[in-house]
Structure 1
Amino acid sequence: MTVIKTVFVLVHGGWHDRSTWNKVTPILDANGFSALTLDLPGAGVNAIAPPSLGLFPFDPATFATEPSPSAGMTQLERTEAVVELVEEAAALSGGKVILVGHSAGGMTVSAVAERIPTLLSAVVYIAGFMVPNGMPLLAMLQHETMSSALSPGLFVGDPVAIGATRINPGSTDEAYRSLLKASFYDDVSEAEFAHAASHLHYDESNAGALAPSEITPERFGSVPRHYVRTTRDCAVPLAGQDHMIATMDGAIGGKTTTHTLESSHSPFLSQPAKLSTILIEISTSSQAERVGAEGLVA
């Protein structure tokens, strides 16, 4: 009798892409696990840059006001893309899938857990937006516990007029780039920051920020949930993380298992080994629980 090792499905956060996980997936692989990643709709290879970036000279006023090519992207599109990947992972692992979401990717993780809870052995939020039913990401971002977040200072233009929340990762302005590093990558080297910033896209459709969470105790609440707290986070402050954990536990029932890293918003860059250890420990505990309930997988 053999136990099939877990497959992880790793979901990146806002403005990021699948390269988020490039330091984590080799560690999981080396320990006998598999990990599947993707560029969400509107991200990575699926992102479309604002046309004004192709103009010379660059016009900041046009960049700050032109409608986003990503404005029509919906949260449902992202949910469907991850559901498909989880189903692929389940076929590889016999149904034992751990779904992991970073930052704004938490909204997609929650939606997927509501859709296909029986395919998941756990759901993990890494400094992720874990919000109760009926609440959008934007409402949580505006909560007082998020007031120290630096990331809103990166936003360019009026999101309502643009149809997206826009940042400028290609900016050469020293103050803007310093704020970008402080927001997301405060504890990584300058070289790692430059590489990570080169993978960021410009626009996050407002759909992701405005779509209300749709979760129930019966479906989402049936999946064991874990939260990786990042204590030096300047994008999703620790007070906000703890508020989301307490709010979700009160609203949905059960208890979120917490893990803590002394890291910025990007532990997958600054502490990939420690983050991977947490993920492996979650897998081990989830597997033990399942084996205890069902016996070994043939």
Structure 2
Amino acid sequence: MGICLSAESPPRKNHSKRVINQSTTSGNTNSSNRWSRVRSLSSRREKFDDAMIHEHAIAAALLFQQHQQQNGGILPFDRSTSLRHLPGSTNSKRHNPLPRSSSTRPRSVADPLLPPQQLLNQDLNIDELETSHIVLVHGGGFGAWCWYKTIALLEESKLKVTAIDLTGSGIDLFDTNSIKSLSQYVTPLIDFLKNLTDGEKVILVGHDFGGSCISYVMELFPSKIAKAIFVAASMLKSGQSTLDMFSQKENTNDLMRKSQKFMYTNGNNSPPTAIDLDKTLLKDLLFNQSPPKDIALASVSMRPIPFPPVLEKLSLSDSNYGSVRRFYIETGNDNAIPIDLQEWMVTESPPEKVFRIKGSDHSPFFSKPQGLHKLLVEIAKII
């Protein structure tokens, strides 16, 4: 979740216009029946395809969790919308601008997807990538389980995927209330990066509070990280904590304030040890565009967020953290980290490129999985 606490979204800034594809209709009365039949057949075929995709994604998630439990740790998987340019971007000299992304038919009202055949035919040549290994880092309260759709789609594109359970998250059994620092919280990610072979690089993807987590390890292991992708995530400057970032303005997010339940396992006279979320408000806060089945999954899987890491200020240097290429994916219909706050972070610490998933809630891996997948693949292809 977005740990906004006492924060107000900063004023919206003007940005370059985004290209939106609009369909037009033409024809005459004599052809209307023929097109109606074609649309009917297409609709039935799409519904069947969608059902199959959903079943495969669920199966992949269950298999992923089963292997983690059996192997006692992280299991790397073996291969199985729009773009905004920032003026004066420091990295703009490296690459030519990418074409703006576009979307096609909607899967449903809550989950617009690209046709599977389009995704599989994106002309992705693994051998041409700097790295084909993507590491997914969840946000506060989530776990590796939240990426199940993304894992399945990336593997279909022949990419290698690892999803991390941070300390006290997902199926990790550590008590969340006992976590004292950010380094302790991200220990599973640190251990994973330490164990990479010499010369091996990965693409880090951080969601929500996971943005602070990947920033922390970018400072420690810059040579092992090819790119860092922040997805509706906290993207801090040196000397900032996640709480600092969300406290830049007065808080007007009543929904966030009502959703938070502070936990005091060390006594009411001591600082909070964790933040839990009101399960009855999860849909409105985090999943306002997500399918009901994914909301149900989250409601029984989310865990409290350790509080001390939220308070910890990061120390980020230009030589380490600043040497890693950064990309940001904005979520346009986000109630947890509003788009104004995302744009403020981007302005304060400009990444190489900024993308936006139009209509996504705070959890694009649920609400816009194929839109998110398309952008991850697009960023992976940037050289």
State TM-score, norm by structure 1.
Answer: 0.78
Structure 2 counterpart of 1:32: 158
Residue 149 of structure 2 is aligned to residue 23 of structure 1: yes
Contact 2:179 / 2:185 at 8 angstroms: preserved in 1? no
Separation (CA, whole Å) in 2 of partners of 1:215 and 1:270: 32
Offset at residue 154 of structure 1 (A):
1.0
- Are 1:260 and 2:362 counterparts? no
2:297 to 151, 173, 195: 195
CA distance in 2: counterparts of 1:149 and 1:33, whole angstroms: 40
Q: CA RMSD in A?
A: 2.3
Could you tell me which runs of 5 or more consecutive residues in structure 1 were left unpaired when the two chains were aligned.
50-68, 170-176, 250-254, 290-298
Within 5 Å, give how 1:97-246 maps onto structure 2: 97-144=202-249, 147-148=252-253, 150-157=255-262, 161-169=271-279, 177=280, 179-201=281-303, 203-246=304-347
Contact conserved, 1:148 with 1:237, CA < 8 A, in 2?
no
Alpha-carbon distance in structure 2 between the residues aligned to 1:41 and 1:232:
29
Which letter maps to 2:347? A
Alignment equivalent of 1:82, drawn from 155, 169, 189 = 189
What is the identity, as a one-letter code, of the residue corresponding to 1:284?
K
Rounded to whole Å, the distance in 1 between the matches of 2:179 and 2:215 is 21
- Residue of structure 2 equivalent to 1:41: 167
For the 8 Å contact 2:203–2:227, the answer to whether it is kept is yes
- Which residue in 2 is equivalent to 1:70? 177
- Calculate percent identity across the aligned residue pairs: 25
Match of 1:273 in 2: 370
Residue 66 of structure 1 corresponds to none
Q: Structure 2: state its 5+ residue gaps.
A: 1-126, 265-269
Distance 1:130 1:71, change over 3 A: same
Question: How far 1:164 sits from its partner (Å)?
Answer: 1.5
- SS of 1:198's partner is helix
Q: How many residues align?
A: 251
Q: Answer whether contact 1:133 1:215 (CA < 8 A) is retained.
A: yes
Counterpart residue number, 1:296: none
The whole-number CA distance in structure 2 between the counterparts of 1:165 and 1:81 is: 21
Q: Cα distance, 1:165 vs. partner?
A: 1.7
1:281 CA displacement:
0.8
Q: Is the 8 A contact 1:8 1:97 kept in 2?
A: yes
Shift of 1:188: 1.3
Change (3 A) 1:30 1:70: same
Looking at secondary structure, tell me which structure has more helix per residue: 1
The answer on whether the counterparts of 2:167 and 2:186 sit within 8 Å (CA) in structure 1 is no
Name the amino acid aligned to 1:166.
D
Whole-Å Cα distance in 1 between the matches of residues 200 and 322 of structure 2? 18
Which of the two has higher C-alpha Rg? Answer: 2
| Alpha-carbon distance in structure 1 between the residues aligned to 2:260 and 2:174 | 17
Query: CA offset at residue 146 of structure 1?
Result: 6.4
Contact 1:127 1:241 in 2 (8 A): yes
Cα drift, residue 45 of structure 1: 1.8
Q: Which amino acid aligns with 2:210?
A: G
Mapping of 1:5-24 within 5 angstroms? 5-24=131-150
What's the offset of the Cα at 1:162? 3.5
Calculate the TM-score normalised by the size of structure 2. 0.61
- 1:19-39 per-residue CA deviation (whole Å, 9 max, x = no partner) reads 110000111111110110121
CA shift, 1:73, in A, is: 3.8
Q: How many angstroms does 1:192 deviate by?
A: 2.1
Shift of 1:147: 3.7
Provide the C-alpha distance between the structure 2 equivalents of 1:224 and 1:149, rounded to a whole number of angstroms: 35
Mapped to 1, the partners of 2:262 and 2:155 lie a distance apart of: 42
* Code of the aligned partner of 2:246: L
Partner of 1:58: none
2:178, 2:258 → 1: CA distance? 21
